[in-house]
Structure 1
């Protein structure tokens, strides 16, 4: 009887080993990193911070986050898993682990990209492994895989069925849009990476929307404008940077920032967006007054730019950006998925109009 049980144990172990071995590992080096302004950026960083050494230290660190970066590929695998490592396992108190440290997968259908699944990170370890989706039909599909929004990504590899086909792909876009802004652009507080508003707009209008958000640090420094000036073939620059700039900074820096951008992008449309109405100011009078002064100063500077002869400038006020029911944020400041969807419904039509995409 003991021999019989031992036989079954060995068979079970061999079966498990076969299952483990029946996986094809795809290293990240086989894929093309997309969604960033500079192809030559190291690793999974958005910007080569050694090249742009004059950027403020906090901004440089934030541009090592993989926000907005993604890969695409085709496979007929029935299962997709990911092993990855981020710089650490810490989480923000207003973000989901999936948004901050996880991956978000979509499959291309005839009517656009369709959500397929997420990779949930380990909550204590920087290293994680997760099966994004399984039990799929064995037909070839094209996947889009968004990277973590709020962490530096150190490494990742895909796992697919042994013997499954695999072809890296690169997306072709009609337009390139740079979105510079605060934590809201960076992605707080979407539930998963693909629901940050730059990513949502990108999928919707087939544009290469580059996420240049720097959480808490979008203060219109000239060094940032100079870096943006090195980005080639830009069709639109979006400035959604008012939330992080003090009223005085808005007053002192907006004109100079646009003036600097015009040195390399003399005719590129620039869309200026006021800060969303922060619902934390519903009862906190200091926050309410700060927001009103920020946006008022931004509008004054926009009007001053127009009066000075600057062309191709466009403006979106705070009105209705996250709705009017006070339920569009997670903490009174950062949009939920509902808040982001409301923002997209206002921002995207303006972008389509500016770029004549209708």
Structure 2
């Protein structure tokens, strides 16, 4: 069968120019909860790094400023009786990544439920990948007799200049159900932490954990640049009300020796501001080269034991709020099936990471 479009209509785009009887809600609407942008109140920008630190980062690692403009970890939430949801967005670039879908890199996905405990995935922005602006009808034909919970995940690997949510003009709009507790999970790491290579934003393991735990989180995964800079640790220490720091940057700093040089000072910097906030150090998940290259496997084992030993050293000095997790335990022997390129997880890899971390994080938070 010859066709210039996909046979399955579900593979077609959902862009629209029909805006009749639609009310547009901005991210600063008081009925919406914007989360994941720790410095938004300071700069009113959908970015992960505050303006005041950009000159500092430009000196130590300019890549951080570019990656800090990516909106990984951003979320919008509210409750509504609307029958449909539209998203109108302006992004900083068009999709250009080989191993990530356009929606993961540059789009939004939507979860809906009666409460945060039963949110289900409902749709994505299916936009023209050659354009940096789009309006998409993500969901339609919803029951208007019930007020439901809505959650939107921001793009993982692009910046968002503007975004608005479109709802029925006569719909009820309310603030979302509060998080389980006040405070933030703060993730620091690499491209994997940032969400590469999920198929859509909600499948990044940090977003998965935020939904399952019903907690706000901030994603400070910097693709290829999780290098453990002291200045980054200082930035993380300035974030208000941290619940838990999850540190996972071996994949970028192991083979170049930077983790061995930086981890101790990184932890000390966090402790200077937050002496009792728990810290979880996670060594990296398996790579196929660990099995194929003996020297790579030996180095990987050495780095795992270094991280374990660093945590044990802090605990021996009286820090009972620091923990270590061997990342190898998050995947089983089929781990080669869980990535797109032997390194970056697919949705399956992220699912197992989230499922493995969830009970560990719950246990830590229950203790503290």
TM-score (norm 1): 0.88
Runs of 5+ consecutive residues of structure 1 not aligned to the other structure: 1-17
SS at match of 1:203: helix
Q: CA RMSD in A?
A: 2.3
Match of 2:351 among 333, 341, 354: 341
Q: Structure 1 CA distance, aligned partners of 2:133 and 2:298?
A: 44
Match of 2:48 among 30, 43, 46: 46
Match of 1:61 among 62, 66, 71: 66
The alpha-carbon deviation at position 286 of structure 1 amounts to 5.9
Q: 2:34 aligns to what?
A: 33
The answer as to 2:321 corresponding to 1:312 is yes
Aligned length: 341
1:23-65 Cα shifts (integer Å, max 9, x gaps) = 3333344244212223324321122133453222111221111
The alpha-carbon deviation at position 295 of structure 1 amounts to 2.5
Evaluate the alpha carbon distance shift between residue 357 and residue 76 of structure 1 in structure 2; reply closer, same or farther with a 3 A threshold: farther
Q: 1:142 aligns to what?
A: 149
Q: 2:10 aligns to what?
A: none
Q: Structure 1 CA distance, aligned partners of 2:259 and 2:19?
A: 56
Whether the 8 Å contact between 1:222 and 1:260 is mirrored in structure 2 is yes
Q: Which moved more, 1:23-32 or 1:312-321?
A: 23-32
SS at match of 1:244: helix
Q: 1:153 aligns to what?
A: 160
Evaluate the alpha carbon distance shift between residue 20 and residue 347 of structure 1 in structure 2; reply closer, same or farther with a 3 A threshold: closer
Q: 1:130 aligns to what?
A: 136
SS at match of 1:50: helix
Runs of 5+ consecutive residues of structure 2 not aligned to the other structure: 1-16
The answer as to 2:176 corresponding to 1:165 is no
SS at match of 2:309: helix
The answer as to 2:225 corresponding to 1:226 is no
Q: 1:268 aligns to what?
A: 277
SS at match of 2:351: helix
The answer as to 2:111 corresponding to 1:106 is yes
Structure number with larger C-alpha Rg: 1
Q: 1:291 aligns to what?
A: 300
1:130-189 Cα shifts (integer Å, max 9, x gaps) = 111111121322211111111100112222234333334473341521111111111111
SS at match of 2:327: coil
Evaluate the alpha carbon distance shift between residue 20 and residue 63 of structure 1 in structure 2; reply closer, same or farther with a 3 A threshold: closer
Q: 1:4 aligns to what?
A: none
The alpha-carbon deviation at position 123 of structure 1 amounts to 0.8
Evaluate the alpha carbon distance shift between residue 267 and residue 23 of structure 1 in structure 2; reply closer, same or farther with a 3 A threshold: closer
Q: 1:119 aligns to what?
A: 125
Q: Structure 1 CA distance, aligned partners of 2:275 and 2:144?
A: 50
SS at match of 1:21: coil
SS at match of 1:355: helix
Evaluate the alpha carbon distance shift between residue 23 and residue 310 of structure 1 in structure 2; reply closer, same or farther with a 3 A threshold: closer
Whether the 8 Å contact between 2:67 and 2:222 is mirrored in structure 1 is yes
Whether the 8 Å contact between 1:67 and 1:211 is mirrored in structure 2 is yes
